[in-house]
Structure 1
Amino acid sequence: MEAMTPRLYPVGIQTFSEIIESNLVYVDKTEYVYRMTHSGSKSVFLSRPRRFGKSLLTSTLHSYFEGRKELFEGLAIERLEKDWTIHPVLHFDMSMAKHMDKEQLEEELSLQLERHEKIYGRGENERRPNQRLQGLIERACQQTGQRVVVLIDEYDAPLLDVVHEEKSLPLLRNVMRNFYSPLKACDPYLRFVFLTGITKFSQLSIFSELNNLTNISIESDYAGICGITEEELLTAMSPDLDILAQRMSLTREKVLAELKENYDGYHFAWPSPDIFNPFSLMNTFRAGTFNSYWFGSGTPTYLIEMLKKYHVVPSRIGGTEAVASDFDAPTERMTSITPLLYQSGYITIKDYDKLVEIYTLDIPNKEVRIGLMRSLIPEYITNDTAATNTTVAKLARALMHDDIDGALRLLQTFLSTVPYCDNARSEGHYQQVFYIIFSLLGAYVDVEVRTPRGRIDLVIHTRTLLYIVELKLDRTAGEAMRQIDLKDYPERFALCGLPMVKVAVNFDSERHTLEDWCINNESMG
């Protein structure tokens, strides 16, 4: 079979005009653009995780409101829009304002204002950012005879890095609140205001006057506005599936299954189509191989800091139930880590009980689960992540051969060679170490699984076996095995269809590693 030529993918390119003019792959989102701009809402807010296409959507709006009809040939909006009115567009990219103190942030705002003032001028008495923004909006409207469009991409970028800092957050938040304050007063001059971000800061703290802001983030009508839906993957990107299958010497069905396992599973509303991470998807098609592209592009420092602040252990990330106000909540009013995890894309909606209005939230896919666990290795195991990764690869090889004894011997040797942190004397700590390591294997791991007679410490679900694991600290493996038998834990999984293996493990807090273990009732170690 003749090799198919990969298409050109817009990896790292967020400018709509460049994608269209360079004939790069573009999945048509322009019907959402038309719907949003003709919905009756003048000010719209959209929250989505990083690298999910927010900046591209903002750029698409920019081209649309500039009346660049030629860029939209063959797209949905071409048949919907009849007028193509040209509006003045004030576009601010707040991703340029990360890692800044108050003075640096004010300087960055000044630079972005100056770019527009070169076109529309600046009033003599306009000194503060809010005065300058108000002057710009009024002059742009007066000079062009058309109402103004304001686009603010990643509005929360200056605040995210300091969200866990009690001193810096209020200072930067006040700067941004002051900057955005004219948006309400300038209403007669405005055609449309669009803001994107990862997190949702309260209107009170950031948009104190913008009380008509419509949040479309969890509306079903806009569930697929960012990211790639499964339908879009199977239609608009169907050739890419065939090309990737050929490059990887796999069937189309196998490639689709791998893509779903690694990058699918996001839902930002309910009901919602399945959403794939666009950054990981495009990178996979470009490179012709599976990898942790989204997680590899950077684990936010604020996430690790907030996990520490709220004392969230790895096994408690996901697998929760919540009402909408608990996870679609203002960041600075959080009483748990859930809103930040959800809005940042580390957990997502998996189900909804309409009767009681409760959402089920969980980690979306394999890429996020493994990426999260890798980022937590230094906190729970060792700073030598390379040694951990090598050990995990060897553990995977052992489990592929159903050699749980060999896997535990590897783990015993590894843990005895790494330095341990202060909380290594608790049974819960070792439970989390097991959870992290076995999650990195790609095996399904659950912690403290409820049964009619108690809770199982760990359940590890591989392709061929189900391991029921009980952990003890400074006791004996025999004691742990007796607990499994006494409480008849395997009964809970009698219908799973896989052979079950009982594993009892005892840790030694002095040596910081496995002391002994039993597999079924045969003493090992």
Structure 2
Amino acid sequence: MRKYPIGIQDFEKIRKENFLYIDKTQSIYNLIASGNYYFLSRPRRFGKSLLLSTIKEIFSGNRELFKDLWIYNQWNWEQKHPVIHLRLSKLDYQKLGLYEALSIEIGILAKEQGVELESKHLKGRFEELIRKASANGKVVILIDEYDKPITDYLDDLGKVEENRSIFKSFYSVLKDSDPYIRLLLITGVSRFPKVSIFSDLNNLNDITIHRKYATIAGITQQELERDFADEIAEIQQHQPDFLGKLKSWYNGYAWHEEAERVYNPFSLLKYMDGRDFRNYWFHTGTPTWLVNIMKQNREYDLENVHIGENALSSFNVEHIAVIPVLFQTGYLTIKGYNSNNRLYKLGYPNTEVRESLTDALLSAYRNVFPGNDSMSVTDDLSESLKKNDMPQMIKALDVLLSTIPYDHWKAESESIFHIIVHLSFKRLGFDVRSEVHSATGRCDVLVFTDRYIFALELKLNSSANVALDQIFEKGYLRPYQMDARKKIAIGINFSSEKRNVQDYLVKELE
């Protein structure tokens, strides 16, 4: 049986115990042969730790671990370098504080290098470790999850500032250590503290969005078909079209507009192990605070979002901008780039993320997040739209609204109904467009299925007749008159007092 390295981040363990390894050594070779100072951001469980572990074994000269891999006959294995591998996630900074935890870890790393440290303060100990370890060759410094002691405290700005100040002093050592360093690679999920933490390290090359390194983490289509050939052949015997579904569910991530898209490695391995299409990655650690901030900021329509390159890498802890965080953490990905205005277009990478995040958001707007999903209360909506069964759709919407706890009900405007309707249909995989501009107005919601185009106008404490009339007066369906699909206008009036659909009207265009 194949052994999948689910949750295993140690290259030596993977190779010695015959786990599957996706050969990234050619990309790694290009990285370490082309420069000396790098920063790389990727979402959680995307292979950052394994990347650093692999680099550690290369510079340690452990050639036999690389047998049958690309780099085996391409590297000078006799030229070894001391490796300082600092993994922030293993430090007990919650209990000891970041300063003390780092100081202890530097002592452990010094023992691994056979170095005695004399300095008593953190900055001096780090500088001394690098300088003394370099007596055996220029040092390779690998720092994993550099941002974790900051992102863990986003609800405690005092602790964020304290840890940021400690990091700034700690990493400032690297600027004057150039004569001792062969390679420095820093990885993390976010890019937001990079400027303030590494402001002195102005030679750090950020390769997060770089064509050459866009696939250094994640699994490409070619790697999938090469390394999972046996599994693919087996599954295709009873699911001939499964490759298309696999791509829809777990592929789609891009860190450059011209680069090949990659699969989420964690979800892909979990699928190959269990052979079920499920939301594996999302449920391993989606932060509650992120979903709640999205709700607070009324962020819900995440398709075709446009953002500049500087904004893409920014993160102000005091005033969190949701879109950059969603990109950095893997909930949005690059869909395109306009070189004229230098704007990136972002969107959901795949079905897993779209379905999971819209479900979490819908549950948050229903005030049942975390702890409950919205799957059971939205499934009826799917069949009703596909069949153009409006009574069933209205009934399903009523059920959905009735599940919102009374003490959390805040229907101060029709926008809450608009958001719930949008997320409900988006969670089901429909092509949903909100506040679509036309020459004479802006339609609340447009939903596209294989057979129908639905225009929904939503009112609060008004009348369905007013809503329906607006669709025709403003010509919301006029831009689609050449489309062969049937076009349905739906006016819906909600009651804030009764928390339901008070009345609705439907009219099909002739």
- TM-score between the two structures when normalised by the length of structure 2: 0.93
Matched, 1:18 2:3: no
Partner Cα separation in structure 2 for residue 123 and residue 386 of structure 1: 53
- Tell me the equivalent position of 1:135: 128
Rate the CA distance shift 1:114–1:270 in 2: closer, same or farther, 3 A: same
What amino acid does structure 2 have at the position aligned with 1:267? A
Residue of 186, 207, 214 corresponding to 1:216: 207
1:176 to 151, 158, 167: 167
Equivalent of 2:64 in 45, 59, 70: 70
- Identify if the C-alpha distance between structure 1 residues 498 and 112 changes in structure 2 by more than 3 Å, giving closer, same or farther: farther
What per-residue deviation string (whole Å, max 9, x for no partner) do you get for residues 26-52 of structure 1? 22111111111111x211110111111
Which residue does the alignment assign to 2:267? Answer: 280
Does 1:35 find its partner at 2:58?
Answer: no
Tell me the distance in 1 between the aligned counterparts of 2:92 and 2:455: 46
Q: How does 1:357-376 map to 2 (within 5 A)?
A: 357-376=342-361
Task: Show structure 2 runs of 5+ residues with no match.
Answer: none
The one-letter amino acid paired with 2:42 is: R
| Cα deviation 1:18-77 (Å, max 9, x = unaligned) | 2222222222111111111111x2111101111111111111111111111111122221
What aligned pairs does 1:299-318 form with structure 2 within 5 A after superposition? 299-307=286-294, 311-315=297-301, 317-318=302-303
Do the aligned residues in 1 keep the contact of 2:434 with 2:445 (CA within 8 Å)?
yes
Tell me the CA shift for residue 340 of structure 1: 1.2
**Corresponding residue number in structure 2 for 1:511:** 498
Matched with 2:90 is: 96
Equivalent in 2, 10, 17 of residue 7 of structure 1: 2
The Cα shift of 1:287 comes to 0.7
Q: Deviations over 1:230-288 (max 9, x none)?
A: 22223333333233334xx311xx21221222122211112111121111111111110
| Correspondence 1:485 to 2:476 | no
Residues 65 and 84, structure 1, Cα contact 8 Å, conserved in 2: no
User: In structure 2, what is the Cα distance between the partners aligned to 1:256 and 1:476?
Assistant: 48
Q: In the alignment, is the contact (CA less than 8 A) between 2:146 and 2:187 conserved in 1? A: yes
User: Structure 1 CA distance, aligned partners of 2:128 and 2:280?
Assistant: 42
Q: Secondary structure at the match of 2:44?
A: coil
| Distance in 2 between residues matched to 1:75 and 1:195, nearest whole Å | 24
Partner deviation per Cα, 1:82-119 (whole Å, 9 max, x = no partner):
34422111111112358837x42233323422321223
Please give the root-mean-square deviation of Cα atoms over the aligned residues, in Å: 2.4
Matches within 5 A, 1:132-281: 132-142=125-135, 145-163=136-154, 165-246=156-237, 249-251=238-240, 254-281=241-268
* 1:449–1:459 CA contact under 8 A, matched in 2: yes
1:429-444 matches, cutoff 5 A = 429-444=416-431
Aligned equivalent of 1:105: 98
- Displacement after TM superposition at 1:303 (Å): 1.9
Are 2:359 and 2:374, in contact at CA under 8 Å, matched by a contact in 1?
A: no
Q: Could you tell me how far apart the structure 2 residues matched to 1:318 and 1:109 are?
A: 41
How far apart, CA to CA, are the structure 2 residues paired with 1:33 and 1:331? 32
The equivalent of 2:41 in structure 1 is 47
Change (3 A) 1:234 1:402: farther
The equivalent residue for 1:3 is none
Q: Write the distance in 1 (CA, Å) between the matches of 2:195 and 2:388.
A: 56
Q: CA deviation at 1:512?
A: 1.8
2:487–2:508 contact (8 Å) kept in structure 1: no
Identical residues among aligned pairs (%) = 34
How far, CA to CA, are the matches of 2:205 and 2:445 in structure 1? Answer: 44
State the AA in 1 paired with 2:321.
S
Paired residues of 2:15 and 2:21 also in contact (CA < 8 A): yes
Indicate if the aligned counterparts of 1:299 and 1:375 stay in contact, CA closer than 8 A.
no
Q: How does 1:375-386 map to 2 (within 5 A)?
A: 375-383=360-368, 386=372
- Partner of residue 379, structure 2: 393
Q: Which letter maps to 1:152?
A: I
Any conservation in 2 of the 1:320–1:360 contact (CA below 8 Å)? yes
Q: Residues of 2 paired with 1:173 and 1:203: CA distance?
A: 10
Provide the C-alpha distance between the structure 2 equivalents of 1:363 and 1:432, rounded to a whole number of angstroms. 17
Letter in 2 for 1:96: K
- Which shows bigger deviation, 176-185 or 57-66? 176-185
1:404-437, CA deviations, whole angstroms, 9 ceiling, x for partnerless residues?
A: 3202212213413432536422111111111222
For the residue of structure 2 that corresponds to 1:284, the secondary structure is helix
1:460-499 map, 5 Å: 460-499=447-486
CA contact (8 A) 1:427 1:471 kept: yes
**8 Å contact from structure 2 (residues 382, 428) kept in 1:** yes
The number of residue pairs the alignment matches comes to: 507
1:298 equivalent in structure 2: 285
Q: Secondary structure at the match of 1:468?
A: strand
